[in-house]
Chain A
């Protein structure tokens, strides 16, 4: 065998190999935190694993964790697209503009941006109606608080977080008119040190329920150290902290969506869509309500969950006023998703919440 044949067969083998690779659908995931955060990113990672399990050899996935929001994420997305990704999930609000920018450069790559509102021909948006879960949390919190002070750790003042605060407040107030919300903005999705400090401060100021819209379990640990404080798992079940302080949780379930979208790319049926599913569609799950919650409260919370799931009740049902006292929803009216004062762009507190939404 001379050198020529060796080279030729090597080249043949390589073509065959790339041919085999090309048949695989490559799916990329951009994560804002580490996959072990026990919250938001952890659940996206579960979704990725479900994709691998569902398609086996037909799919190749890649992910990059702890990608800062903003320009640096463009580099990561571009890199994934250059590596041949067919579909890229960008899983945090702050990746919105970078996703649009990179998508414009790679018209043949499909992008899926979580929790944003900017679509393009090759950019879909998807999110979950977390506020439905917040309603259940608010309901339990209103019943459980003895000091009537509920602490809330916000991440960034964006519509998704503000919706959650409003929904929790409305349903806490409904069962406990004296309830008061104290809100601390951490300006991070994931920083255990800041989150722990924020939880401690809220507890020091009298909160005996701490709700969090940040992704680590640090507030759970702080509540556990403090004793008589209850918390709710965020994004993931955080069951390690049950039955106290964690009494229930919102669980994000991305797996069915990720599998469906990957399938659509394989079939060539992918189109740019906007998906916003809640408890009913299974995208939002309510974690087991623990034994620390009295049976009657648990029953009413589950009833609320079921009514949200079957659509017989909307978490934002009038009469509701905005914080400044102006009317928002008339009696019986439910909030629309889009448009003026719609849920998608919500940037105001409802009546009764103290403090201002930061700019």
Chain B
């Protein structure tokens, strides 16, 4: 065993990269759930984003266009969900699950001719001097732009929900759609916008996987990342800053597990692999034990269909 071979600096740097896809997807889902909609199709939207972004980046040679197309692809798929749940008032849980299955299948079909191809390299931050600083350089100043975009998005969502009128309306819709409707807010419109934002974020998360983290396309490459993102939203009790914490925790455990193996530590890796899920279960149990506290955090209208006639 040689723990000294694990560099904390590089560990932190690589966990930030590893956590970015789930962080993007989770922050998008947080906004969706804050508006009172439970979209379980994150996995499907992520993988559609992964292939849409990959195909566009390969086709045009520009990763930026790839990311834009990934966001559009994710948003387009989420629009299907929005149509079904907001206009046809279908069950959100069932529709979300169907969206995941549909996304996985569609992406496999779209990706047939993209297996084994190299995408163009994404843009990395490389500031003179600052990126070469010891410790701070690798941790803070030499990542791929998606890492910063994800962090900026978390900060933006936090600011939007907490300090803007739009954020207040979104939360009102999520807490009590009848009251929001009575006040004259367009509940369905707000929710559709939130769903599309969530879809775009999930799509970006998928592209962060296929264009930056791996970078390659393979069928089913999200491998459950969308479900982890859903778990993180609950884990974070619908608070943006805690979403960041949760995503880094999941990313950190994934990277640490490999680091410990390479350093020759002989704890079975299965324990580390399951630890984030264990933590999520424990957090959920603790949260549900304090009923009032949980009730304060979860949007009250989460998962309930809204129709203006009622």
Contacts and interface: CB of A to CB of B under 8 A. Distances in A.
B14 A221 contact: no
Nearest to A149: B5
Interface string B9-23: 011001000100000
Nearest to B119: A221
B247 interface: no
A36 B258 contact: no
A144 interface: no
The 7 closest A-B pairs by CB, nearest first: A36-B115, A201-B258, A38-B116, A204-B10, A355-B264, A36-B116, A182-B262
B266 interface: yes
A218 B116 contact: no
A142 B224 CA distance: 38
B262 to A, nearest CB: 5
A358 B268 contact: yes
Contact of B264 (A217, A218, A354): A354
B5 A193 contact: no
A210 to B, nearest CB: 11
B234 interface: no
Interface residues of A, number: 36
B214 A192 contact: yes
B259 interface: yes
Nearest to A191: B223
A34 interface: yes
B141 to A, nearest CB: 17
Interface string A324-359: 000000000000000000000000000000111010
B193 interface: no
Interface in A167-182: 182
Interface of A: 34-38, 42, 66, 151, 182-185, 187, 190-193, 196-198, 200-202, 204-206, 216-218, 221, 225, 240, 354-356, 358
B115 A218 contact: no
Which of B7, B209, B214 has the largest count of A CB atoms less than 10 A from its CB?
B214
A37 B111 CA distance: 13
A358 B268 CA distance: 8
A50 B27 CA distance: 50
Contacts of A354: 264
B6 A185 contact: no
B262 A151 contact: yes
A66 B261 CA distance: 27
B255 interface: yes
B216 interface: yes
A193 B205 CA distance: 14
